[in-house]
Amino acid sequence: MSADARRAIVRVAHSIHCRGLTHGRTGNLAVRDGERVLVTPTGVSLADVDADQLSVVALDGAHLEGPPPTKEAFLHVAMLRVRPDANAVVHTHSVHAAAVSCLSDIDADNPIPPLTAYYGMRVGTLRMLPYYAPGDPAATGAVEDAARVTHALLLRNHGPVVAGVDLDTAVDALEELEHTAQLFFLTRGLATSPLTSAQLHAFATPSGRNPS
């Protein structure tokens, strides 16, 4: 696996932890490198990720090299398999997005309204999946089906999973999702004016709503 991919994972992992987008030993990242995927290992805080201690898996999820991968590696490879436009996936338990995933009165096809232009540009369409226990590969089919529609998913009672053309793009989208989830709670119960379908459509690109 390329040294550049390893350095990118370490840089982004440390940044995510420093910015409070994850906590403890939660959250994981993946980068596609040809037919193989570099993934953060199991049981390691993103603050402590090391370039020489990353896992390598195949696109079918088979462990090829390095320490055991995160038990949620299947989420990453499932999204990468069905999204040829994506080369990276980021999953966190960021507080406000995770809180939205716990609400009972949420529309799974539109769990967070598109309240800002940057949400429209970087996230666009968000889908919430049914609950699966963390690490349960039974979620694979649901992840693949949803990822064919959008690069941004919300796992019920869990957190967001976002794919991008590279790690920085995926993290930008994830951070915008978290920020908009916070706005959602700040404005809940108040009249809001989310972006219209036409306004969202204006942000669409050939590779999905995932701008650089």
Give the active site residue among 72, 175, 176, 178.
Answer: 72
Which residue in 130, 88, 119, 133 sits closest to 184, CA to CA?
119
Q: H-helix or E-strand containing 161?
A: strand 159-164
Please indicate whether residue 131 is annotated as part of the active site: no
Residue 149 is given by DSSP the state T
Please indicate whether residue 118 is annotated as part of the active site: yes
Separation CA 117–CA 137 (nearest Å): 35
76: tokens are 């990453």
Give the active site residue among 65, 118, 131, 178.
Answer: 118
Which residue in 160, 150, 162 sits closest to 205, CA to CA?
150
Active site residues: 72, 118
